[in-house]
């Protein structure tokens, strides 16, 4: 059956190729008027045979229309694309699982179900909430670094304020030197302001959360120094930091459940002072 189908599908092309070769040969033999008759004859034979073979081979063409075949190709393309997406997502989940298993923190995995990446009010919504013991103030991270902090909670979801939010203020330090500062978002960049220009800060220095912060767990990677801008007087500098987490692409994250320990300590300290 397969041979028969192959014959019907190939015979037309074989005949066409043979006649073309013969025709080209006759053309190359002579360009005189005497050679016009054989050329005309062979091309006439080709036209007749082509018509005959087309009518014979027509029943061998599959019943499916061209539109159906194109629809099938499009469906297969979409399936392949989806399988590729699942494969990449599976690899990403494996990386996150390995990160969680290697961490000393009490991490709760979460999926980002909504985003708002507007210039001054960037936040994400995760599928974990009060029913998962998530509380406002808990840190949210990825395997790359700090994503943000839980702002509000529902029973089954939480709103996370990211670093790219005008209300986010993070106590950080330059990992290499231990220099402390406050990281903030100005609508365009993450930056640390009012750093004395003679302080030892280099392009490429890693920035992590500071041990003096009561809101964030110490030593969470934040970003990397990409630029230093001197003030008009030249006495102070502004440090621009590129975050490790790509807030527009991130899909999975972790809630650091023991990140509220410092908040509890701070609350107890305030109560003792009253």
pLDDT surpasses 60 at 52 = no
Q: Show the tokens assigned to 20.
A: 């073309």
pLDDT surpasses 50 at 142 = yes
Q: Show the tokens assigned to 205.
A: 């220095």
Place of tokens 């034979």: 45
Which overall architecture, per CATH, does domain 107-273 show? Beta Barrel (2.40)
pLDDT surpasses 70 at 115 = yes
Q: Show the tokens assigned to 22.
A: 């013969």
For residue 42, report the phi and psi dihedrals to the nearest 5 degrees: -65, -40
Give the per-residue pLDDT at 197: 86
Split at pLDDT 50, 70, 90, the class of 209 is very high
Quote the mean pLDDT of the chain.
77
For the chain, the straight-line distance linking the first and the last C-alpha, in angstroms and rounded, comes to 93
More confident residue, 232 or 7: 232
**How many percent of the chain have pLDDT more than 90?**
35
Split at pLDDT 50, 70, 90, the class of 114 is very high
More confident residue, 119 or 24: 119
What is the domain partition of the chain in residue ranges?
A: 2-60, 107-273
* H or E segment and range at residue 270: helix 261-273
Give the per-residue pLDDT at 64: 56
Distance of CA 179 to the CA centre of its chain: 33
More confident residue, 116 or 231: 116
Q: Show the tokens assigned to 250.
A: 């991130």
Split at pLDDT 50, 70, 90, the class of 183 is very high
Surface-to-core class of residue 136, CB atoms within 10 Å of its CB (0-12 exposed, 13-18 middle, 19+ buried): middle
Split at pLDDT 50, 70, 90, the class of 23 is low
What confidence tens digit (pLDDT) does each residue in 58-95 have? 555 555 566 677 677 677 777 776 677 666 666 666 66
Give the per-residue pLDDT at 128: 95
More confident residue, 56 or 147: 147
pLDDT surpasses 50 at 272 = no
Cβ contact 15:49 at 8 Å: yes
Cβ contact 225:174 at 8 Å: yes
Q: Show the tokens assigned to 149.
A: 């902090």
Split at pLDDT 50, 70, 90, the class of 214 is confident
Lowest mean pLDDT segment, chosen from 61-70, 129-138, 155-164, 250-259: 61-70
More confident residue, 102 or 162: 162
Task: Report DSSP state, residue 35.
Answer: G
Q: What pTM value is reported for the model?
A: 0.62
């Amino acid at each position: 059956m397969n041979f028969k189908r192959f014959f019907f599908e190939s015979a037309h092309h074989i005949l066409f190729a043979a006649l073309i070769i013969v025709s080209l040969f006759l053309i190359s033999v002579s360009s005189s008027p005497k050679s016009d008759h054989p050329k005309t004859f062979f091309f006439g034979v080709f036209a007749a045979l082509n018509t005959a073979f087309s009518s014979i081979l027509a029943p061998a063409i599959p019943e499916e229309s061209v539109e159906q075949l194109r629809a099938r190709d499009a469906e297969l393309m979409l399936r392949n694309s989806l399988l590729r997406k699942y494969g990449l997502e599976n690899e990403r989940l494996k990386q996150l699982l390995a990160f969680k298993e290697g961490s000393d923190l009490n991490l709760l995995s979460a999926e980002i179900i909504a985003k708002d990446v507007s210039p001054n009010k960037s936040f994400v919504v995760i599928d974990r909430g009060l029913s998962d013991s998530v509380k406002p103030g808990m840190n949210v991270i990825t395997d790359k670094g700090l994503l943000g902090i839980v702002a509000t909670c529902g029973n089954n979801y939480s709103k996370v304020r990211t670093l790219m939010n005008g209300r986010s203020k993070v106590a950080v330090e330059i990992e290499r030197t231990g220099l402390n500062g406050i990281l903030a978002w100005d609508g365009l960049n993450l930056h640390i302001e009012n750093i004395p220009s003679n302080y030892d800060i280099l392009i490429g220095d890693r920035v992590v959360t500071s041990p003096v912060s009561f809101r964030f767990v110490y030593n969470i990677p934040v970003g990397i120094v990409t630029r230093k801008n001197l003030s008009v007087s030249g006495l102070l500098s502004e440090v621009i930091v590129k975050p490790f987490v790509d807030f527009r692409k991130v899909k999975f994250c972790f809630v650091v459940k023991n990140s509220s320990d410092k908040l509890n300590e701070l609350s107890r300290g305030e109560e003792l002072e009253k």
